[in-house]
Amino acid sequence: MAASFSRCGQQKALGSSTAQERRVFAPACSAVSAPAAASVNVNAAPVFANAAPVAARGVAVPRAPVSSRLQRNVTCAAGKDATAEGREQDLSRYRNIGIMAHIDAGKTTTSERILYYTGKSYKIGEVHEGTATMDWMVQEQERGITITSAATTCQWNGHRINVIDTPGHVDFTLEVERALRVLDGAVAVFDAVSGVEPQSETVWRQADKYNVPRVCFVNKMDRLGANFFRTRDMVISNLGAKPLVLQVPIGSEDAFKGMVDLVKMKALVWSGEELGAKFDEVDIPADMVDQANEYREKLIDSVVELDDAVLEAYFEGTMPDNDTIKRLIRKGTIDRVFVPMVCGTAFKNKGVQPLLDAVVDYLPSPLDIPDVDGVAVDDAEQALTRPASDDAPFSALAFKIATDPFVGTLTFCRIYSGKLEAGTYALNANKGKKERIGRLMMMHANNREDIKAAYAGDIVAIGGLKEVITGETLCDEKNPIILERMDFPDPVIKIAIEPKSKGDLEKMGMGLNKLAQEDPSFGYSRDEETGQTVIEGMGELHLEIIVDRLRREFKVECDVGAPQVNYRESISRPNDIRYVHKKQSGGSGQFADVAIKFEPGEPGTGFVFRSEIKGGAVPKEYIPGVLKGLEESMGSGQLAGFPVVDVTATLIDGSYHEVDSSALAFQIAARGAFREAMSKCGARLLEPVMKVEVITPEDHMGDVIGDLNSRRGMVNKFEDKPGGMKLVQAYVPLAEMFSYVSTLRGMTKGRANYSMCLERYEVVPPNIQTEIVAKQKVAA
């Protein structure tokens, strides 16, 4: 049997469910791409002084639906005046936004232009030159990708815009999730050539989950094959959204000059494409007047429906004025009736200023969204809320931890209510501990500006917090609240790492500890028996970056093993198990008797525990012991030591001894019952199956399909793509996808690309299960 792992870095929290019904081990959600690390055997026995701190995990509760947003809109008018002394900007003039999209759609380039045009940076950093301000990590600059979401603050048109640029690669999906949790609105960037790409779908659904209002920016209008209206159609068909066209492009590809603004009914035409190029507001070109009229009419038709009085007047022949149109676009955007759509080319500096106008005009301020939800500290069933007001008790959510070489730990927080001053104390509501607010900073990518106080709506970094981790709440000690937790995916792959020397071993312990603190989708564990260290993450690229950071930031010399799938174990049939734990030899005895019904749960349900004990057959105080024993057992299954998922356990009966029973005895009995259940309930292995989308030239399509089939893949969809390309979609087990990037490159001479994300867990075929189990036993 595989040796047991002590799992560090993460703990699956129990959400807010009751003690009688709890869930752990939510299904993983992520993917893989990029080259595999070198393969080396690992035998060392590292010893770490500290286990990584326990990261909170929980079930995210989406924001309130539209109806409650509408209610909030009513309240906000009253809340607006409640601005405390010291606030620089009225809360209604805040926009907390994220920039989200598929990899390479141009999020970072767009964010860089936003910084430039808002006067925050005087020199533009280019992604392809490795100088982007927002991509400040050395790994980001070398690879030209965003890995961590960077936060920055800028000003536009009398508004404070807090921007978070999020990664597009699916391995860093947690960064997107964290950002969406604390944002009020988002800009969804699309590549005008590729339109809606797989990861744009994933982030779109994440934004749906958190009810985040969006504006679409169709970028790269200068590229060959760019097509604004095709992208609009894909937003409808692939995302099921209702785009509201606010601009019509003037020309495309090389001839892209600007756009017609359908509210102003003016053409915005750029005279150059250099940084800072000016644009003029001129009359609509004669050959576009009909098209502009047609789309303005569609725009007005969509917005008048949101206001009965305006609709009535419209039917009677009165056109709404531009202020009314803008008011209704804002209302429809915030209520998520439609998604305004604008266009441009960030790289060629066209369209960014109107995009900023759209952010200010149409995305919500903190006053436009529902009061943040939470629960009481001593009673998870008691719902609490906090309004976006400086006068309300202080509450903030830590959504990201970063390690800064100068400041140490930086904790990024979104302040939902109240005021926070540097040098004061706040309560970590999750841990019940007071923390000193040493330094308070506004962040500009990796630069920071010290501030004395922060207010409702701000996104700030706090320096020097000791024990706060991602997802925890900081609040006023006298008015404690625990805000909704975030949903963290479970790692899908793992690799073994071996430090080269004893010195490296110590540094590795420290490094892993810090990295796990920053990143809840990363975990590490140490096999107590073999001393092997295993790191777990969301994909090959994710772990590659972790190892790179260990080497560079923590100066750890190490060898790295081949990536392996993080399988899961489950059961296939129900069974009632009775287990008696009895120990009489020496000292006081131990006695616990449990009868537990084990049943396979629905996919994705994790672990559900219920107690149906009647008449005190198992006294109430021993039931947490049963739960604890089962939870411990779920961490490592009997087949091959993988986590067990999708099991429902119901405590139906039992007995106890007046003297010899204890919670510990029931914990041991539950572990015994679980062991028996795994052998009597048809234990089986589950594997992550990925949705893989390959975009390939037609002449390589046969090879691509043949290769996917040989990887146990099931091809389920073909589609035409712009430029004579074909999309092949297939479901393939993750175990068969390692190093796919290099195979695909070789097979198609580098002309195809692919992306993938976790679709579901499936039962591993019996012959493969036998192989995996045998391999795990040898490894143990």
Ligand X SMILES: Nc1nc2c(ncn2[C@@H]2O[C@H](COP(=O)(O)OP(=O)(O)OP(=O)(O)O)[C@@H](O)[C@H]2O)c(=O)[nH]1
Q: Write out the residues near ligand X by the rule CB under 6 A.
A: 101, 103-109, 127-128, 144-146, 167-169, 219-220, 222-223, 345-348
| Long-range contacts, 254-261 (Cβ 8 Å, 24+) | 254/222, 256/221, 256/222, 256/226, 256/345, 256/348, 256/350, 257/350, 258/350, 258/351, 259/342, 259/343, 259/344, 259/351, 259/354, 260/284, 260/288, 260/291, 260/292, 261/354
Sequence-ordered list of residues with C-beta below 8 angstroms from that of 592, at least 6 positions apart, any chain: 580, 581, 622, 625, 654, 656, 661, 662, 665, 666, 668, 669
* CB-CB contact of 680 with 609 (8 Å): no
| Long-range contacts, 327-331 (Cβ 8 Å, 24+) | 328/303, 328/304, 329/244, 329/246, 329/263, 329/299, 329/303, 329/361, 329/362, 330/361, 330/362, 331/306, 331/307
Residue type, 31: A
Shortest distance in whole angstroms from residue 99 CB to ligand X? 8
Q: Which of 119, 192, 106 is nearest to 153 (CA)?
A: 119
Element (H, E) at 74: helix 66-79
Count of alpha carbons within 13 angstroms of residue 364, beta-carbon side: 28
Instruction: Name which of 135 and 593 has its Cβ closer to ligand X.
Output: 135
Q: Which of 600, 595, 599 is nearest to 577 (CA)?
A: 595
Count of alpha carbons within 13 angstroms of residue 363, beta-carbon side: 31
Any known ligand binding at 222? Answer: yes
Cross-strand bridge partners of residue 152: 163, 444
Shortest distance in whole angstroms from residue 103 CB to ligand X? 4
* CB-CB contact of 116 with 203 (8 Å): no
Instruction: Name which of 324 and 345 has its Cβ closer to ligand X.
Output: 345
Instruction: Name which of 92 and 194 has its Cβ closer to ligand X.
Output: 194
Shortest distance in whole angstroms from residue 132 CB to ligand X? 7
Shortest distance in whole angstroms from residue 32 CB to ligand X? 16
Beta strands 243-245 and 339-343 are parallel
Any known ligand binding at 102? Answer: yes
* CB-CB contact of 287 with 312 (8 Å): no
Instruction: Name which of 150 and 613 has its Cβ closer to ligand X.
Output: 150
Any known ligand binding at 104? Answer: yes
Instruction: Name which of 85 and 254 has its Cβ closer to ligand X.
Output: 254
Shortest distance in whole angstroms from residue 271 CB to ligand X? 18
Angle CA(326)–CA(328)–CA(333) in degrees, nearest 5? Answer: 95
Distance separating alpha carbons of residues 496 and 560, to the nearest angstrom: 6
Instruction: Name which of 145 and 453 has its Cβ closer to ligand X.
Output: 145
* CB-CB contact of 562 with 535 (8 Å): no
Biggest alpha carbon–alpha carbon distance for the chain = 99
Shortest distance in whole angstroms from residue 217 CB to ligand X? 10
Shortest distance in whole angstroms from residue 101 CB to ligand X? 5
Instruction: Name which of 252 and 650 has its Cβ closer to ligand X.
Output: 252
Instruction: Name which of 69 and 223 has its Cβ closer to ligand X.
Output: 223
Shortest distance in whole angstroms from residue 180 CB to ligand X? 15
Please give the structure tokens belonging to residue 360.
Answer: 């200010």
* CB-CB contact of 368 with 330 (8 Å): no
Instruction: Name which of 103 and 734 has its Cβ closer to ligand X.
Output: 103
Instruction: Name which of 135 and 335 has its Cβ closer to ligand X.
Output: 135
Any known ligand binding at 98? Answer: no
Any known ligand binding at 418? Answer: no
- DSSP-based three-state secondary structure for 760: strand
Instruction: Name which of 225 and 574 has its Cβ closer to ligand X.
Output: 225
Any known ligand binding at 226? Answer: no
Any known ligand binding at 220? Answer: yes
The residue to which tokens 């607010």 are assigned: 437
Instruction: Name which of 57 and 348 has its Cβ closer to ligand X.
Output: 348
Instruction: Name which of 128 and 478 has its Cβ closer to ligand X.
Output: 128
Detail the DSSP E strand segments found in 176-330: 185-191, 214-219, 243-245, 247-250, 258-261, 266-270, 279-282
Any known ligand binding at 431? Answer: no
Element (H, E) at 344: none
Shortest distance in whole angstroms from residue 602 CB to ligand X? 34
Any known ligand binding at 653? Answer: no
Cross-strand bridge partners of residue 473: 397
* CB-CB contact of 55 with 471 (8 Å): yes
Shortest distance in whole angstroms from residue 112 CB to ligand X? 7
Angle CA(551)–CA(556)–CA(560) in degrees, nearest 5? Answer: 75
Shortest distance in whole angstroms from residue 409 CB to ligand X? 25
Any known ligand binding at 726? Answer: no
The residue to which tokens 């960064």 are assigned: 175
Cross-strand bridge partners of residue 267: 260, 282
> How many Cβ atoms sit within 10 Å of the Cβ of residue 273?
14
Count of alpha carbons within 13 angstroms of residue 293, beta-carbon side: 6
Shortest distance in whole angstroms from residue 182 CB to ligand X? 19
Cross-strand bridge partners of residue 305: none
Beta strands 279-282 and 266-270 are antiparallel
Any known ligand binding at 422? Answer: no
* Nearest position to ligand X, beta carbon: 168
Instruction: Name which of 107 and 549 has its Cβ closer to ligand X.
Output: 107
Residue ranges of the annotated binding site for GTP are: 101-108, 165-169, 219-222
Residue ranges of the annotated binding site are: 101-108, 165-169, 219-222
